[in-house]
Amino acid sequence: NEFINCAATLRDFGFLVENNVTDVGKLVASLNADNSLWVGSVLLYNDILYELGPHELAAALSCVVSDLNRPDIYIAFDASPKVQDFVEQASDMQSRVIASQLANGLTFEVPLDPSFAGLVEAWALGTSWNSLLAMTSMQEGDVIRVLRRVLDILRQIPRLPYVPGERGVGAEIRLNARRALTLMDRFPVSDDLTYSIELDERLEDESMQVFAQGMEEMRTRLIGKSGVSLSEDEHVRSEQLKVNVGWEETYEVDADENAVMWPPLSSPYEVDEDLGYSTYAQEGILEGMDEQEQDDEEEDEEDEEDFKVSKKKRAAGEKDDEDWIRGLGKSLLELFRLLTTAGPGLGKGVESLPGDLRI
């Protein structure tokens, strides 16, 4: 009965004609989401998506894939006006989907929750991890979960089946999805071990160069009213993006030729060309941070550096610490297997184990 009811709902939206799947129906079916009908309808029938920048697209999609229902969550700011306009427009489609489902005896969730949109948009605009956590009462794991669910849907959009004419998902949305992936692909949301974005999924084109020029202003406008001070890390992140996409910015060379003064920074920092991003040349550069906060910031920078080095080694086919850890894991599994099957012989101690495992 549920299968028949689902088919009836799909017919209401033109995804099935009699018992044949239409071309837009195939597009919706290719989506991996809790409610593919709902997410597909948003992508197909919300024209405002074509007016959004990559950071706003990520924030808008967070509204339709969110699965956290926590009324006690605090976030210091809302999403930008365009994202709020999207929510208002999408509410009409939400009503249609819910009405069709109920008419056919279905009760699938049709989420439209803008609660996390501002947080997603701030991360896409280069806000550092520590600053992001300072703006919300959410736990780190919940924040990562929200951001990765957005990444999941963004990764699918460029690979959706092509539909002739103007009935499918347009090229601009597909390109913006890749640009949004580029903006959000940062540690600790993505890494080499638990969640990795492939290089061919990212997009760093001329549009991203233009976007980089206004990135800091957009970030300040979004979160400036939250009362949370931006760290120097946020101020340099838009410059990193400009460097990554090959856009050259004029800068002043300090007396020390190894240091540069990038506007609007007031303190010099070293440029590490091998790693492709900047590290600070002075300790205590972040004013107002206590010693613990400064230690946390340095640990984050070290983790990000390890992540980038590991990524380069893997791209070159070299082994790194993760390969060694995997090998150790296999040895430990074998050790566990032997111990659990030893039976009475376990009392003989480690001397009863093979030589390599005993060592």
- 6 in any annotated domain: yes
Kindly report the CATH number assigned to the domain that includes residue 21: 1.10.3380.30
pLDDT higher than 60, residue 79 = yes
| Bigger pLDDT: 227 vs 277 | 227
Q: Among the listed ranges 4-13, 258-267, 302-311, which one has the minimum average pLDDT value? A: 258-267
Return the higher-pLDDT residue of 17 and 244. 17
- pLDDT tens per residue across span 335-357: 777 776 665 555 455 566 666 65
Q: Give the CA distances from residue 211 to residues 98, 147, 221, 239, 285, in Å, rounded to whole numbers and listed in that order.
A: 37, 21, 15, 11, 27
* DSSP character at residue 194: S
Q: What residue ranges in 125-268 does DSSP mark as E strands?
A: 252-253, 259-261
Residue 357 lies in a domain: no
Q: Is the pLDDT of residue 127 over 60?
A: yes
The pLDDT value given to residue 353:
60
* Distance, CA of 34 to chain centre: 18
Spatial distance between the Cα atoms of 216 and 235, rounded to a whole number of angstroms: 7
What pLDDT does 272 receive?
41
* Nearest to 182, CA basis, from 155, 159, 160, 156: 155
User: 124, exposed or middle or buried, with CB in 10 Å at 0-12, 13-18, 19+?
Assistant: buried
Instruction: Classify residue 351: in a domain, yes or no.
Output: no
The per-residue pLDDT for 343 is 58
Total structural domains within the chain? 1
Task: Identify whether 244 is part of a domain.
Answer: no
Q: What is the pLDDT of residue 132?
A: 93
CA separation for the pair 254, 299 (Å, rounded)? 27
pLDDT for residue 242: 46
CA pair distance 189, 317, nearest whole angstrom: 24
Largest CA distance in the chain: 77
Has residue 246 been placed in a domain? no
Task: Determine the pLDDT at residue 283.
Answer: 38
- Please tell me which residue, 263 or 222, carries the higher pLDDT value: 222
pLDDT above 90 covers what percent of the chain? Answer: 48
Q: How confident is the model at residue 206 (pLDDT cuts 50, 70, 90)?
A: confident
Domain that holds residue 24: 1-226
Q: Is residue 302 part of a domain?
A: no
Would you say residue 115 lies in a domain? yes
CA distance linking residue 137 with residue 118, whole number of Å: 14
Tens of pLDDT, residues 249-269 = 333 333 333 333 333 333 333
Confidence tier at 300 by pLDDT (50, 70, 90): confident
